[in-house]
Amino acid sequence: MITRTLQQRIEGNLFKGKAIIVIGARQVGKSTLFRQITEKLEEPVLMLNCDEPEVKELLAGMNLTELKLMIGKHRVVVIDEAQRVPEIGMTLKRITDNFPEVQLLVTGSSSFELQNRLNEPLTGRKYEYHLFPVSTRELLEHGGLIAVKQSLESRLIYGSYPDIVNHADEAKELLMNIAGSYLYKDILALEDVRRPALLEKLLVALALQVGSEVSYNEIAQTVGSDSKTVEKYIDLLEKCYIVFRLGAFNRNLRTELKKSKKVYFYDNGIRNAVIQNFAPLSMRNDVGALWENFFISERIKANEYEGRYAKSYFWRTTQQQEIDYIEEADGQFTAFEMKWNPRKKTTPLPAVFLKTYPVAQEAVVTPENYLEWL
């Protein structure tokens, strides 16, 4: 079993009178993480899965007397997929305020549902963490350097969901199941998402444009919709931790692009499942896009887990000068170019950017050196 980086941080905040919330995509290991934590506690644990209709109905609007009866002598209460319960924030607030000896552990798969319902009721009463598919550092600590290097091509193609990492021989079947059964579950539960076929077309369009600038108008024409609907659906996909957007960095130069966006997937395997392409790297023409998606998503995981508060962008000008990925932290910039082939000649970073902004570090990231940044 791979030990998740968040486990130690969560264990250090147990029984401090605050709920612990872990959010992230379905199947990234949230329930398993809490199970590993609670097995070490030797405390009575109450497990509640809100995907079950009876549990969802039970937790909706429980009064204090009912909560007391439900919790009983349990010292730990785990509530899985809490976003499924209306007004869950008020229920969690009642538990936190009235049962200070009870540790609440809560998971949610969609930030737009869970955060909207939690932020106000649980202000000052929670620790919140994001869990992603298995990170490079987690694999390194579990299997060592050789295992990480040997698994790179597999991760570029099949991604890093825990089930995929632990059952590599069944990767394709497992991924198609995740992409088919779980990917849209929370989004399609919303009343205003009425076109699942459009959602699938949109995901395919985004998967084929990884690493390229995305135009909502162009995608709308491709999928047969309008730009506002496309933007709304991308926003929902982002809030379900399927994709994330990078904005174009602009500040001082008139020639900088201002409104452009790029869209990446949190996991390469999901991206490839969407377009149903699991061909080996030697037979693909999208290796550069896979490498770029992989490194940026891994860097975002690393920053989150290490507590590095960095804003992420890409940069491009109207003269086609560009930088693949930029991080801004404490007023300093780190600029990255991604190259799958380390022997391929690289173009120096644009001088105009280096002259205009305080660049602390710059790097050309290849399979030979990427671990330095993760």
- Could you tell me the CATH number of the domain that includes residue 244? 1.10.10.10
Burial of 245 (0-12, 13-18, 19+ CB in 10 A): middle
- One domain, residues 104 and 161: no
Considering the domain boundaries, does residue 370 fall inside one? no
Considering the domain boundaries, does residue 32 fall inside one? yes
Q: How high is the pLDDT of residue 193?
A: 66
Task: Render pLDDT for 306-349 as a digit per residue (tens, 0 to 9).
Answer: 988 899 999 998 888 899 999 999 989 999 999 998 888 777 88
Considering the domain boundaries, does residue 25 fall inside one? yes
Of 289, 306, 323, the last residue of a domain is 306
Q: Is the pLDDT of residue 355 over 60?
A: yes
Q: Tokens for 93? A: 């607030």
Of 94, 115, 130, the last residue of a domain is 130
Considering the domain boundaries, does residue 248 fall inside one? yes
Q: How high is the pLDDT of residue 311?
A: 94
E strands, the chain, in order:
19-23, 45-49, 76-80, 103-108, 126-130, 213-214, 243-248, 261-265, 311-316, 322-329, 332-338, 359-365
Q: How high is the pLDDT of residue 190?
A: 60
- Could you tell me the CATH number of the domain that includes residue 95? 3.40.50.300
Instruction: Show the CA angle centred on residue 214, arms to residues 225 and 239, nearest 5°.
Output: 75
Q: How high is the pLDDT of residue 253?
A: 79
> What distance lies between CA 8 and its chain's CA centroid?
20
Q: Is the pLDDT of residue 236 over 70?
A: yes
Task: Render pLDDT for 88-144 as a digit per residue (tens, 0 to 9).
Answer: 888 888 899 999 999 999 998 876 555 566 666 777 888 999 999 999 999 999 999
Task: Render pLDDT for 25-50 as a digit per residue (tens, 0 to 9).
Answer: 889 999 999 999 999 988 899 999 99
pTM of the model: 0.91
- One domain, residues 41 and 65: yes
- One domain, residues 14 and 76: yes
Cα dist from 173 to 109, 156, 208, 264, whole Å: 22, 16, 21, 23
| DSSP secondary structure letter of residue 317 | B
Question: In this structure, what are the phi and psi dihedrals at residue 232, rounded to the nearest 5 degrees?
Answer: -65, -45
Q: Return the percentage of the chain with pLDDT > 90, whole number.
A: 65
Its domain, for residue 262, covers 136-306
Task: Render pLDDT for 152-169 as a digit per residue (tens, 0 to 9).
Answer: 999 999 999 999 999 999
- One domain, residues 163 and 52: no
Considering the domain boundaries, does residue 193 fall inside one? yes
Question: In this structure, what are the phi and psi dihedrals at residue 256, rounded to the nearest 5 degrees?
Answer: -70, 140
Considering the domain boundaries, does residue 107 fall inside one? yes
Of 258, 285, 306, the last residue of a domain is 306
- One domain, residues 83 and 11: yes
> CB within 8 A of 37, min separation 6: which ones?
7, 10, 11, 14, 105
Q: Tokens for 298? A: 């891994």
Q: How high is the pLDDT of residue 46?
A: 95
Q: Tokens for 180? A: 């088919």
- One domain, residues 267 and 297: yes
Q: How high is the pLDDT of residue 62?
A: 83
Give 194 or 268, the one with higher predicted confidence: 268
CB atoms within 10 A of CB 88: 26
